[in-house]
Chains A and B, each alone.
Chain A
Amino acid sequence: MNDPAAVINSSDQLVVTHEDVDRAHDRARVLDARSHGGLFSRLRLLWLLIGPGVLVMLGENDGPSMLSYAATGARFGIGFFVPFIILTFLMAVVVQEMTVRLAAVTHRGHAELIFERFGPFWGWFSMLDLALGNFLTLITEFIAIRAGLGFFGVPPWAAVFSALLLLYVALMTHRYWTWERVTLGLALLNLVFVPVALFTHPDWHSIGHALSTWQPLPGGLNKDTILILLADIGATVTPWMLFFQQSATVDKGLTTKDIREGRLDTVVGAMLAALAAVATVLATAPLRAHGMSVENFQAADFAQALRPIIGHVGAALFALGIIEAGMVACITISTSSAYAFGEVARRPHSLNLPIAEGKAFYSVLFLCAAAAAAIVLIPGLPLVYVVLIVNVVAVLAMPPALLFLYLLVNDKEIMGDLVSPKWANALALAVVALLTAAGLLFGASVIAPRVLTVLGGH
């Protein structure tokens, strides 16, 4: 295995930074938990190591994602999309697990590995995809926050300012562990969509039927179905997730001994996120039964529309969920941008950095969010359309990003014996093929809609 630290080891000049000391304190607790047997110690170990996986999955249940799920429920009701959304989370687990292994083995972020192994030419392409995707997505997060707080009568400027203030407070801990726990606590509020779904008294027989038959799909395969299909995929697997989970896992300090817990973290995150996503579809499904047109809705308008069906409390919870979704994603996505910037610019990049040592890291993180927030205050943005398109763009950018991930995780020189097994490669390539096919289907639906008729659609 190629060990870049070997040079430093041999020179016997090990430099320890504040970032290292903070990480060492976290790792000492992990090693302590690992040294004891018993159920309590194993649970403590899981508690200490869980984080990046749950955060990335619940973070991706962001403003545009929840709006996509809400639009899915309102347009298609309970049917094909319920099992389809669960499938997209299975795809996310396959993909994100690779980032855990890469991080644990190399202790490098995704961006720096692409730059180091494939050079700046391909590295900058990846950065461009990430920067563009992240910035567009950040705009939509602030749209969600603005709309959600709008439900409670908060003016747009105050909503945006509050979100930036919360982001600032989270960063000022300049401690990865504290930042992670605060953000995790916030992210768990994503499950607020579950009680909202229960308020609608969902038809459990229809849910069982949908899960077992993948039916019905009202309207069949048409342009709108494909747009929602891509938006729902983009609500679950996107490039920023690769960069974020790998960098956060490195920042947290996971090693090869922690891969099992890292995988569990990812699976638990996917299960929680899938639960919230399906709950959102169930929550808005009654809108279809009431013949309401999804085109009329913007983020918090779903909450308004649901009020006659689930009452004020249910509607307020829905709006709160939209705010939370936007806020958590705002924190995680801007962090992924800052990690990538630090890795590429070879500047210190860690949430353990004291402010004085991490000025560039924290500035990029905050300024990205602030710029996106400013754009949201421009009046007249077509909100629903913007968020659906952002998810579509995320799906389109995924195959090139996944190919780099595939090449890295099969790179024997850096991964040693922890390269992907054949079955994992087959699954990863299946995900690439599925995403590419979905993208091409979307392209065909736009350029040559008649192709859909040939494929049995309308």
Chain B
Amino acid sequence: MHGISAEDKELALAVLEHDQLAKAKDTQYARRKLKGGESVVLWSLRLYLIFMLAVVLYQIVSGAR
């Protein structure tokens, strides 16, 4: 990286935790598998949101009439 002095680099490595470094984020956390119950709740809330957005749309349309 251009323009970074040795002093600044030393400071960054001294005071930042190593997984705080911007480049550390190139390494990703491993994917976790959703449990059955978690998937059910996630899907339920997703369907809830879609349904409720339709309700909001209905209210807007009926309000406009």
A contact residues vs B (CB 8 Å cutoff): 2-5, 7-9, 14-21, 23-25, 27-28, 31, 106-108, 112-113, 116-119, 122, 125, 129, 253, 255, 346, 348, 350, 385, 389, 392-393, 396-397, 399-400, 403, 407, 411, 413-414, 436, 439, 442-443, 446-447
Contact = CB atoms under 8 A, between A and B. Distances in A.
Nearest to A9: B18
Interface in B11-34: 11-32, 34
Contact of B23 (A17, A112, A253, A413): A17
Contacts of B23: 8, 14-15, 17
Contacts of B3: 18
Interface string B19-63: 111111111111110100010011001101101110110111001
A117 B12 contact: no
4 residue pairs, one from A and one from B, having the closest CB atoms: A5-B19, A5-B24, A24-B12, A4-B27
Contact of B1 (A8, A15, A125, A392): A15
A448 B48 CA distance: 17
A89 to B, nearest CB: 23
Contacts of A125: 46
Nearest to A125: B46
Contacts of B34: 118
B56 A16 contact: no
A5 B29 contact: no
Contacts of A413: 29-30, 32
Which among A2, A107, A413 has the highest number of chain B CB atoms within 10 Å? A107
Nearest to A348: B22
Interface of B: 1, 3-4, 8-9, 11-32, 34, 38, 41-42, 45-46, 48-49, 51-53, 55-56, 58-60, 63
Contact of A403 (B13, B27, B41): B41
18 contacts: A4-B19, A4-B28, A5-B19, A5-B24, A5-B27, A20-B16, A20-B22, A23-B20, A24-B11, A27-B15, A107-B19, A112-B25, A117-B29, A253-B20, A350-B22, A399-B45, A403-B41, A447-B58
A118 B20 CA distance: 22
Contacts of B60: 389
Contacts of B19: 3-5, 106-107
A118 B27 contact: no
B18 A118 contact: no
Given A24-B15, A107-B17, A255-B17, A4 B22 contact: no
B27 A8 contact: yes
Nearest to A414: B29
DSSP class of A's interface residues: helix, strand, loop or mixed? Answer: helix
A25 B11 CA distance: 8
A400 B12 contact: no
A392 B56 contact: yes
A16 B1 contact: yes
A289 B31 CA distance: 57
Contacts of B29: 2, 4, 106, 108, 113, 116-117, 413-414
B12 A21 contact: yes
B20 to A, nearest CB: 5
Contacts of B9: 16, 21
Nearest to A256: B17
A392 B59 CA distance: 12
A117 B35 CA distance: 13
Given A350-B22, A396-B49, 18 more contacts: A4-B27, A17-B21, A18-B4, A21-B11, A24-B11, A27-B16, A28-B11, A107-B20, A107-B25, A117-B29, A393-B53, A400-B42, A403-B45, A411-B32, A436-B45, A436-B48, A439-B52, A442-B55
A30 to B, nearest CB: 8
Given A5-B21, A113-B29, A118-B32, A16 B4 contact: yes
A119 B4 CA distance: 35
Contacts of A350: 22
B42 A396 contact: no
Given A116-B29, A118-B34, A17 B22 contact: yes
Contacts of B27: 4-5, 7-8
Contacts of B53: 393, 396
B8 to A, nearest CB: 5
